[in-house]
Amino acid sequence: MRAWFQLRYLDLLGSIYLYNEHRGYTALDGVLEAVGARWPEDAEFIAKVRKHRADEHKHYLMFRRWFERRGVMPLAVNRACGHIDRFVAIMFRSAIDDLDPLRIVERDDLFERLCRVISLTERRGHRQVQILLRHPVVRQDATLMKIFRIIEQDEPSHWAPYDEWLDAHGRRPPSWWERAIDRFIHGELLFVKLPLLFAMPQLTRRSTWPNEQDLTRTKSEAVLHANG
């Protein structure tokens, strides 16, 4: 029974991370395109966002390999388990996929909001990884420990560009209520959604990897562009 619990915990943890890393780099593709269009001269900011995107992609691949080595597919968790999905939905009243980054960068008030959301999400990720590195079940998995150590190292360079942008443009850092929303989302995932998923026997495994849809999406976007 204990072994089942531990396996289920790691399975869920890895699946939620895999979902969030994929969500991270695909959402940053849009941010990167928009930032390049609005501030093409700001090579330093663009390079930092590009590095952030590359890191999230690297994290995604580490979790994918972790599952491949275990010989199982990730559990089919969805955007209900995405921290940034929930945060964007609350702050912009829109799903990430429906949000047009080009429209966001046109307005400083919207872009500064997005910077604070990304910064808080990355700081949350860093704190969570530090907790997981001390977790007895996680500590039994050497590969997972290695992955979380890499993420721990990478995370500070992820919130820095957005904090620097806010500072350079005289915009405020996150407020108490934005921090409260971040805490609420995290608590909801940890104490409501995770226990529910844990006990949900009908939770199936994915049949494909999330990045297989990247290609489909790029192809359909190419068709749209060609037709438009």
Residues at the interface with Fe ion (CB under 5 A): 21, 56, 59, 122, 158
- Judged by beta carbon, residue 46 or residue 160, the one nearer Fe ion is 160
- Judged by beta carbon, residue 53 or residue 223, the one nearer Fe ion is 53
- Judged by beta carbon, residue 6 or residue 211, the one nearer Fe ion is 211
User: To the nearest whole angstrom, how small is the minimum distance from the Cβ of residue 69 to Fe ion?
Assistant: 19
User: To the nearest whole angstrom, how small is the minimum distance from the Cβ of residue 92 to Fe ion?
Assistant: 20
User: To the nearest whole angstrom, how small is the minimum distance from the Cβ of residue 224 to Fe ion?
Assistant: 29
- The answer to whether 162 and 139 are in contact (CB under 8 A) is no
- Judged by beta carbon, residue 182 or residue 227, the one nearer Fe ion is 182
- Judged by beta carbon, residue 58 or residue 135, the one nearer Fe ion is 58
Which residues lie closer than 8 Å to 42 by C-beta, 6 or more apart? 35
CA 201-207-208 angle, 5° bins = 140
CA distances from 89 to 79, 80, 86, 158 (A): 11, 11, 5, 21
Among 213, 217, 151, smallest CA distance to 13 is for 151
Local structure of 205: helix, strand or coil: strand
User: To the nearest whole angstrom, how small is the minimum distance from the Cβ of residue 158 to Fe ion?
Assistant: 4
Phi, psi dihedrals of residue 107, rounded to the nearest 5°: -115, 120
Chain centroid offset of residue 210 CA: 13
- Judged by beta carbon, residue 59 or residue 86, the one nearer Fe ion is 59
What's the token pair of residue 127?
Answer: 């704190």
User: To the nearest whole angstrom, how small is the minimum distance from the Cβ of residue 5 to Fe ion?
Assistant: 26
Give me the DSSP letters along 115-179.
HHHHHHHHHHHHHHHHHHTT-HHHHT-HHHHHHHHHHHHHTHHHHHHHHHHHHHTT-----HHHH
- Judged by beta carbon, residue 113 or residue 124, the one nearer Fe ion is 124
User: To the nearest whole angstrom, how small is the minimum distance from the Cβ of residue 183 to Fe ion?
Assistant: 18
The CA distance from 140 to 138, in Å, is: 5
